Amino acid sequence: MRGEKVFGQVLSVVSQQAGGSTEGRLQFDKPLENGTTIKDCESNRGDTRACIALVVSLKACADQKDLLKGISLHVDIARQGLLETNSIIGGAVVNMYAKCGALSQAQEVFDALPARTVIAWNALISGYTQNEQGKKALSCFEQMQNEGISPDAVTIVCALNACGSVGIVSKGQQLHALIIKEGMLDTNVVVGNALIDMYSCCQLLSKAQNVFFELPLQNEVSWTTLITGFVQHGQGEEALKYFELMKLKGLSPTIATCLCILKACALKGAVDMGQEIHADLIKEGELENNMVIGTALVDMYAKCGALIEARKLFHELPTRDVVSWGALLDGYTQHTDGEEALECFEEMQEGGFAPDGATYICILKTCGNIGAAEKGQKIHAEIAGEGLFADDIVVINSLVDMYAKCGMLAEAQDVFDELPCHDVIIWNALLAGYAQLGDQSAISGLFDRMIGGVMPDFVTFLLILNVCGHRGLIIEGQTQFFSMIEEFGNGPALEHLTCMVDLFGRAGQIDEAVSLIEVMPVCADMSTMLAILGACQKIGDIPHGSWALGHAQHLNKKDSAAYVSISNLYGTFGMQDIEEMDEAAIE
């Protein structure tokens, strides 16, 4: 029997998996895969040893994503008729195909199983989830329930992961209710952690926190999962707060925790905290052979603007790759005038490192920001000449954006026209280029083409309203503003309202601008008040200027821009001292 031959080759693997030797110390309740245990193999018809050997061999193929060897095993299993007689082996075959990304084959084997156990269901649901087919995973979960198969903890975790991946919070809440009903939250921290992750992925961080505090025991994974949620949604301060609480509880951060907190430090510019973590990692010897940690530290220092430290650490890394180069390059892009970023990019290429998509996006952004059109064209030729990233829409968008920012709209249009389809980002990049030139007719034509197939977004209307403001197109601006709300269903954000205030202000219609501020559904910010002050200075409107100054002081007393504007306004009328200004404000 083929299974017997395989058994001899993998017996040592089984022994390690089970935690014993080959002399009868196998732990019969220890899981092999998706909840399968040796007892399960024993309870199925057929030779127990051969069953164990095949399950472990299939697991090895799944872990190594060795589809060819997995298919070979499947052929042997099918030849022996084991799929019809042994549900455990059937589930292991499904799992192997699913883990290898061969989902159609996994589904085909699953559908042919005479008895579909919870283990087989788990393998299929997990496979769809891991291969970013969350909706299909949830469909399988519902089918499983309809067939009367009770989900176990593994099923629940897989289904929660699927909910998080596709943002279906309603299904996640149903699972939450089931978890409470079954008492899983009190007994299974893995389920609790998956629930925290689901709510975090669905942007319901308050619910994630509630689940976290309901857990009878929070382990390192619980803390890291919650902290990760805050970081993913840009709440670096909350992430750092929970990290401090975690340490106060006496829990040591894992490598995963440290990676997450370094991102939080980058978000908040908390270089001091980042340096503390750096020191701890050195003490633990984690930097010696861990490329991921080293790159994360370079990224943290670079994003915090500590470029000397970033560069020093970068050169201390035992090995460097395109990701670590990209982290350093991104820092130069964000915190220098761009020339150092270009030098870093050239140094990277001279070192024999081929840029990846993220690196090209970063350097094209730099070229656009500093108007390095010649360098941008050279990079474009490099990408096109080697046929790189032809299907990478983000890289193509970056090319359009670079040309548009450099004022090379013909080239931007050429890249745009070569694409078979266009998303809202690339439309906005081209619109931004014409907006930079103030070409209202071109913008109107592009916008009309755009709405024929793509829904305009927040940025689209911001660009259009800005152009209307700078061109003094009050009627057009009002038309687009109301169209945004009524026709396209985009509620105005503060930035749109500030554009309208600026539009009225530039046209000298200060009363209309102030009236709009007073009825805004969101509170005006400093930029709104500065728009009013700028308009008042232009036409010499002291009463409204003083009103805007009062609001600006309420928002931020230390912001000097408002005082400069009002000083210029009063200076126009020869009122240079504070007393005269105060009297004017009272009047």
Buried/exposed code over 487-507 (b: 16+ C-beta within 10 A; e: otherwise):
eeebebeebbbbbbbbbbbbb
Of 20, 2, 109, nearest in space to 57 by CA? 2
Please say if the pLDDT value at position 536 is more than 70: yes
Render pLDDT for 25-35 as a digit per residue (tens, 0 to 9): 333 344 445 55
pLDDT of residue 74: 94
Render pLDDT for 454-510 as a digit per residue (tens, 0 to 9): 999 999 999 999 999 988 899 999 999 999 999 998 888 889 999 998 899 888 899
**pLDDT band at 326; cut points 50, 70, 90:** very high
> Which whole number is the average pLDDT over 298-311?
96
pLDDT of residue 558: 58
Please say if the pLDDT value at position 61 is more than 70: yes
Contact by Cβ (8 Å): 1, 50 = yes
pLDDT of residue 378: 95
pLDDT of residue 540: 82
Q: How many residues does the chain have?
A: 587
Render pLDDT for 167-192 as a digit per residue (tens, 0 to 9): 999 999 999 999 999 999 999 999 99
The DSSP line for 529-553 is HHHHHHHHHHHT-HHHHHHHHHHHH
In eight-state DSSP terms, residue 167 is: T
> Which whole number is the average pLDDT over 127-146?
95
Report angle CA 378, 384, 389 to the nearest 5 degrees.
Answer: 115
Please say if the pLDDT value at position 254 is more than 60: yes
CA dihedral 44, 47, 53, 55 (to 10 degrees): -20
Q: Which of these ranges, 119-128, 395-404, 485-494, 542-551, has the smallest mean pLDDT?
A: 542-551
Q: β-strand 36-37 against 31-33: which pairing, if any? A: antiparallel
- Token representation of residue 216: 């009878």
Please say if the pLDDT value at position 105 is more than 70: yes
pLDDT of residue 587: 46
pLDDT of residue 569: 56
pLDDT of residue 559: 59
**pLDDT band at 47; cut points 50, 70, 90:** low
Please say if the pLDDT value at position 273 is more than 60: yes
> Which whole number is the average pLDDT over 114-129?
93
Cα–Cα distance measured from residue 237 to residue 472, given in angstroms and rounded to the nearest whole number: 41
Of 229, 217, 307, nearest in space to 271 by CA? 307
pLDDT of residue 389: 78
Q: Which of these ranges, 172-176, 327-331, 342-346, 500-504, has the smallest mean pLDDT?
A: 500-504
Q: Which of these ranges, 152-156, 268-272, 513-517, has the smallest mean pLDDT?
A: 513-517
What are the residue ranges of helices labelled H in 33-80? Answer: 38-43, 48-64, 67-79
Specify the DSSP element, H or E, that contains 205.
Answer: helix 205-214
pLDDT of residue 133: 95
Render pLDDT for 442-468 as a digit per residue (tens, 0 to 9): 899 999 999 999 999 999 999 999 999
Please say if the pLDDT value at position 542 is more than 90: no
Please say if the pLDDT value at position 570 is more than 80: no
CA dihedral 86, 87, 90, 91 (to 10 degrees): -150
pLDDT of residue 27: 37
Where do we find the tokens 């034509």?
A: 445
Domain definitions of the chain by residue range: 1-130
> Which whole number is the average pLDDT over 327-354?
93
Which residue type does 542 have? I
Beta-carbon contacts of 3 under 8 Å, excluding residues fewer than 6 positions away, are 47, 50, 51, 53, 54, 76, 80, 82
**pLDDT band at 535; cut points 50, 70, 90:** confident
pLDDT of residue 94: 95
pLDDT of residue 557: 57
Report angle CA 208, 212, 217 to the nearest 5 degrees.
Answer: 160
Query: Is the backbone of residue 269 left (phi > 0), alpha (psi -120 to 50) or beta?
Result: left
Cα-Cα-Cα-Cα dihedral sign, residues 189, 192, 197, 203? negative
Please say if the pLDDT value at position 2 is more than 60: no
pLDDT of residue 539: 81
Residue 32's SS3 state is strand
**pLDDT band at 13; cut points 50, 70, 90:** very low
Q: What is the mean pLDDT of the chain?
A: 86
**pLDDT band at 581; cut points 50, 70, 90:** very low
φ, ψ of residue 389 to 5 degrees: the values are: 55, 35
Using a pLDDT cut of 70, give the percent of the chain over it: 87
